[in-house]
Amino acid sequence: MAVPLKSSTEISDFRPRLKWIFAIAAAGFAVLIFRLFDLQALQGEHFLQLSKRNFVRKQEIPATRGVILDRKGRVLVDNRPSYDIRITPAFVDNPTALVKKLKPLLDMSKIQATDLGKKIIAARGLMRFRPITAKRDVGMKCLAEIRVRLNELDGVDVMVRPVREYIHGTFAAHLLGTLGEINSRELKRLGSDSGYKQGDMIGRRGVEKTYESLLKGKDGFELIVTDSKGRKQPDSLAKEMIPEGTPTRMEPRPGRTLKLTIDSDLQNEAEAAFGAQRAGALVAIEVQTGKVRAYLSRPSFDPNDFAQGITPEKWKEYRTNRLKPLMDRAGGGAFFPGSTYKLITAVAGLSENVVKPEDKIFCPGYYKLGRRIFRCWKATGHGYMDAVHGIQHSCDVYFYHLGEMLGPDKLSKWAFALGLGHLTGIPLPGETAGTIPTRAWYLKVHKQPWQKGDSLSMAIGQGDNKVTVLQLARAYATVANGGRLMKPYVLECALGEDGNVVYKEDPVLLKNVAIRKEVRDVVMEGLTDVVNEPGGTAYYRRIRGVDYKVAGKTGTAQVLKLGDERQHNLEEVLWWHRDHALFVGVAPVSAPDIAVAVVVEHGGHGSSAAAPIVMRVIKKWMEIEHGKKPKED
């Protein structure tokens, strides 16, 4: 076959064309090299920074929240691991098959399974590497099954996350408090260097809220080298990639351990003593120091419900309950004090010298003020009453007399002096000051001047005065300790990691109330007789077989405000109509160191419903604190 040679014209045509081709190729490559120069030389530093951010990730190591202990170091609030099952969409090849496998393992409903499948498929871009939580806090059995089959479950992993655990459930819930997920408003307020970030839990109630800064701790971090899928790389590679001298890890500082003043044994006794009573509150404080040893509000709630964010159903349940279980009644519930208030009237009357202790006032069963008749609770009358007997029998007429003699100014002055009508300063959120009426207050609220009859009502605790159980306990403690008004507190100290004390709270004397010793002794004698002498309103509730005495005062407060009765059956209506029962006790009489105040809402009489609770708590206190157990007979 003849192969044609190129003609000379052809060669002269092709030669320049070849040059052109080379020129074009050289120009094309010049563009590439220029671009290479642009990226590597001109923008090199910028891309270097980008590449560093690409592979070195700062991973937070969350600090564990501080543990909460009772006064003797027994754990009240701890952290437990929650095992969450997560799925990273990027590593799932067949979402449908995976969900089918997971459905029985995680005990998912058909709808949940379908939703999960959709979520895995819907993840795009960066989101494909962000794990989806399939189920939180799975049980041990489920966890074991998942772990065994992990190899065949592409993209599934188990994450351990600390969850707050309130060991005793509803125990002292209002004091211990709750956590809640931090919201954007709080985040904004706290600022970016506060250490809080989206998704963190923050104290919302009780000690958890008050001592948030101690409990929180400080998150640590670790610089980890990851590949493009976020998988952690071995340390040897990390060493090559991170410039020398860069801190690669900062250990988190766990939150402080809080040692509370609460005594678990005493608190347990109080919870048990309250028994089936639906609503009420109890506070036990140390007479000399103001340390809160037991703190109870009924109905209670379970703080564990809030530990991982509360479910809408639970929240609705708490919110719609008419008895308001989330409300702290101990420090935040104001009640009519009833006869427990007579202590204040007695101290006021004796201190202001309107009567002498031995002055006898005749009780015919009623008290006449002008044309009005004020009845004593005992219609047949108490006969002649001095201070001690007036308190012992809770004779209304005796205190009507004191009320009339004292008048509103002196009555309120002593109430304020003993810490009523003001916040006690207990470091818990939600405290209320209650109400101690004064002339000015009365005029403002009732739009008329104070009437003499109002002094009488106030003197026996049935006027406008409202107090909290916490205030009552402290008022009795103040009388018992001779006038030292202490600030109640709940935190003994905070401990660091190695158990050293990093923060300590000491008793705070708010003021010395000028109570003369003779006044104090007379009043205490009256309170002692209430419990220990026949005829005393709590005589039948005395602790038998012990060598110490309890002093105290009963109270029964009429309930004025009634709920919406149509919603309830008769039994319910009757319950809502019943009086609140109160009792405040101090012990031991020889050297008082504990004061316990109780209100049982709609409990009926103070002596029958409230006194037994206080007696049980005091009995326990004497047992654990003084080793005094009742003799078995």
Which of 228, 448, 500, 567 touches another protein (CB under 8 A)? Answer: 228
Between the two ends of the chain, the Cα-to-Cα distance in Å is 135
Report if residue 445 touches another protein, rule: CB under 8 A.
no
Q: Which is nearer to another protein, 54 or 183 (CB)?
A: 54
Stretch binding another protein (CB under 8 A), from 144-152, 229-237, 399-407, 619-627: 229-237
Stretch binding another protein (CB under 8 A), from 109-117, 222-230, 425-433, 515-523: 222-230
Report if residue 91 touches another protein, rule: CB under 8 A.
no
Contact flags string 563-602 toward another protein, x per CB under 8 A: ----------------------------------------
* Structure-token pair, residue 623: 């047992």
| CB-CB contact of 513 with 417 (8 Å) | yes
Report if residue 512 touches another protein, rule: CB under 8 A.
no
Rg (CA), the chain: 37
Stretch binding another protein (CB under 8 A), from 135-143, 233-241, 418-426, 611-619: 233-241
> What residues does 164 pair with on adjacent strands?
79
Minimum separation from the CB atom of position 95 to another protein (A): 17
Which of 5, 111, 514, 570 touches another protein (CB under 8 A)? Answer: 5
Report if residue 449 touches another protein, rule: CB under 8 A.
no
Which of 80, 84, 237, 509 touches another protein (CB under 8 A)? Answer: 237
Report if residue 316 touches another protein, rule: CB under 8 A.
no
* Structure-token pair, residue 508: 């705070």
Report if residue 39 touches another protein, rule: CB under 8 A.
yes
| CB-CB contact of 402 with 348 (8 Å) | yes
- Three-state DSSP class for 630? coil
Spatial separation of the C-alpha atoms in residues 596 and 293, rounded to whole Å: 9
Q: Which is nearer to another protein, 6 or 322 (CB)?
A: 6
Residues 102-161 that bind another protein (CB under 8 A): 124-126, 128-129
Q: Phi then psi for 203, rounded to 5 degrees?
A: -65, 135
Minimum separation from the CB atom of position 14 to another protein (A): 6
Contact flags string 7-26 toward another protein, x per CB under 8 A: ---x--xxx-xx--xx--xx
Report if residue 58 touches another protein, rule: CB under 8 A.
no
The DSSP result for 282-330, as a single string, is EEEEETTT-BEEEEEEES---GGGGTT---HHHHHHHHH-TT-TTS-HH
Q: Which is nearer to another protein, 226 or 308 (CB)?
A: 226
Spatial separation of the C-alpha atoms in residues 58 and 71, rounded to whole Å: 39
Helix, strand, coil content of the chain in percent (nearest 5): 45, 20, 35
Report if residue 241 touches another protein, rule: CB under 8 A.
yes
Which of 6, 58, 319, 368 touches another protein (CB under 8 A)? Answer: 6
> What residues does 253 pair with on adjacent strands?
218
Q: Which is nearer to another protein, 240 or 564 (CB)?
A: 240
Query: Exposed (0-12), middle (13-18) or buried (19+): which is 20, by Cβ within 10 Å?
Result: exposed
Q: Which is nearer to another protein, 128 or 413 (CB)?
A: 128
**Using omega within 30 degrees of 0 as the cis cutoff, is the peptide bond preceding 299 cis?**
yes
Report if residue 197 touches another protein, rule: CB under 8 A.
no
Minimum separation from the CB atom of position 166 to another protein (A): 42
| CB-CB contact of 295 with 283 (8 Å) | yes
Q: Phi then psi for 409, rounded to 5 degrees?
A: -65, -45
Report if residue 48 touches another protein, rule: CB under 8 A.
yes
> What residues does 203 pair with on adjacent strands?
179
Report if residue 540 touches another protein, rule: CB under 8 A.
no
> How far is CA 570 from each of CA 13, 349, 459, 581, 601, rounded to the nearest angstrom?
116, 43, 34, 21, 18
| CB-CB contact of 303 with 521 (8 Å) | no
Q: Which is nearer to another protein, 237 or 509 (CB)?
A: 237
Report if residue 448 touches another protein, rule: CB under 8 A.
no
Stretch binding another protein (CB under 8 A), from 36-44, 273-281, 297-305, 467-475: 36-44
Locate tokens 């608190």: which residue?
Answer: 267
What is the contact surface with another protein in residues (CB under 8 A)? 1, 3-6, 10, 13-15, 17-18, 21-22, 25-26, 28-29, 31-33, 35-37, 39-41, 43-48, 50-52, 54-55, 124-126, 128-129, 225-229, 233, 237, 240-241
